[in-house]
Amino acid sequence: MAAFYAGLDIGGQSIKGIVVDEEGRVREELATPTPASQGAQAVLGAIGEVVGGLSRAGRLSSVGVGTPGGVDERGVIVGMAANISGWYGTGLGEAIASMAQAPCSVRNDGNIAAYAEWAARKGGSKCLLFLGLGTGIGGGYIEDGRIMGGRDDRAVEIGHVIVEPHGRTCACGVDGCAEAYASGPSIGRLAMAMGRGEDARLGSLASAAWTGAASGPLGASGATPTFPGSRLAARARAGDLLNAREVYEAYAAGDLLAAAVDAIAAEALARAVSIGLAVLAPDTVVLGGGVIAGAPHLPARIAALAQGRVYSDAWKHCAFEPARLSNRAGLLGAALYGASLVLSRAELIALAAATLG
């Protein structure tokens, strides 16, 4: 009997689904908008439509699911997911298993993306640390093909490592998280604050910005100098809203403010990654997400900075790489993780090789 492995990537904007067969060929792929503001039942209804569409390929052998929020071992959402209203408490695993009439496993979406990047390396990485830089900073850690998710799949929230005590306030409510300096929205907000000469609450990160690009040294308060000739700073002073894409477009053009913001984000990430290196000892660190897509120099830069922030055995055998799967990591990772419910490790690696090329 033919085997069909389904994956679902549930996000605040869309629900994506895919089916691959035992040869690694994509047999179905579809997406539908997420009715995120309408509550869990509406979202489950949309998921049911996607599962029904995927089942056109044939009887599903397994379903893997990536979702925002913490997830317990039963597939119940037990952590807040700010982008889906009423998601907390949803019995997602049982619901989807019933829809698909197939075994189902639900994991946090950061862990699923990490699993996809491990699978893309065809078993070449024993222990992989993944950071996804987008609206927030997600993470995941894979050791010997297993997601190391901790309690309720909340492990490796590396975006919420404190990199500057009493620093900028993160969306989580804590001051000084890496995410407050290096997520997509934070990079834009940081550029606006620095461009306007406001106290950006840089603290010790201020020294990273002082590369000779600005017109004077940064003060102890974290207030920034002016950036002569910077079009980005001029836009900030004019009241424009800036985002990470615009910052890195300006960086590529040699803008002085963009260079300072980039240096701060890189330093913040290097501090967070160095903690991951000391605690987890990965052989591979993968950086992905929309921010890295616009700043492909960051993995190498973070690797160089991290070497001065943790003992040498933690990094000397570790490769720093950009993500290989871009925005399809969650979708493909979900399908492969679901397949791990019914395949041996050797069979799974073979499927990953066939699916991911």
- Tell me the CATH number at 146: 3.30.420.40
pLDDT at 210: 66
Percent of the chain exceeding pLDDT 70 equals 95
Strands 26-33 and 62-67: unpaired
Residues 69 and 200 in one domain: no
**Within 10 Å of residue 166's Cβ, how many Cβ atoms?**
10
Measuring CA to CA, which residue among 216, 215, 219 is closest to residue 202? Answer: 219
**Is the pLDDT assigned to residue 203 strictly greater than 60?**
yes
- What mean pLDDT is predicted for residues 108-132? 91
DSSP state at residue 169: B
Amino acid at 190: L
- DSSP H or E segment with residue 31: strand 26-33
Residues 263 and 351 in one domain: no
In the chain, % helix, strand, coil (3-state, to 5) comes to 45, 20, 35
Residues 160 and 270 in one domain: yes
pLDDT at 225: 61
pLDDT at 310: 93
Amino acid at 177: C
Asked which of 94-108, 130-144, 202-216, 234-248 is least confident by mean pLDDT, the reply is 202-216
pLDDT at 209: 73
Residues 270 and 202 in one domain: yes
pLDDT at 335: 96
Measuring CA to CA, which residue among 302, 268, 266, 261 is closest to residue 176? Answer: 268
Cβ burial of 356 (10 Å; 0-12, 13-18, 19+) is: buried
Radius of gyration of the chain (CA): 21
Reported as a pLDDT band with limits 50, 70 and 90, residue 255 is: very high
Residues 49 and 96 in one domain: yes
**Distance (Å, whole) CA 117 – CA 146:** 12
Residues 180 and 276 in one domain: yes
Residues 52 and 67 in one domain: yes
pLDDT at 214: 46
Residues 182 and 318 in one domain: yes
Residues 56 and 191 in one domain: no
Cα four-point dihedral sign 152, 140, 331, 265: positive
The helix/strand count (H/E) of the chain reads as 13, 10
Helix or strand or coil: residue 106?
Answer: strand
Cβ burial of 165 (10 Å; 0-12, 13-18, 19+) is: exposed
Residues 317 and 330 in one domain: no
C-beta of residue 17 within 8 angstroms of C-beta of residue 31: yes
C-beta of residue 97 within 8 angstroms of C-beta of residue 63: yes
308 is in which domain, residue-wise?
Answer: 127-322
Residues 345 and 270 in one domain: no
Q: Which residues of 38-75 are buried (b: 16+ CB within 10 A; e: fewer)?
A: eebebbbebbeebbebbbebeebbbbbbbbbbbbeeeb
Residues 194 and 222 in one domain: yes
**Is the pLDDT assigned to residue 226 strictly greater than 90?**
no
Number of domains in the chain: 2
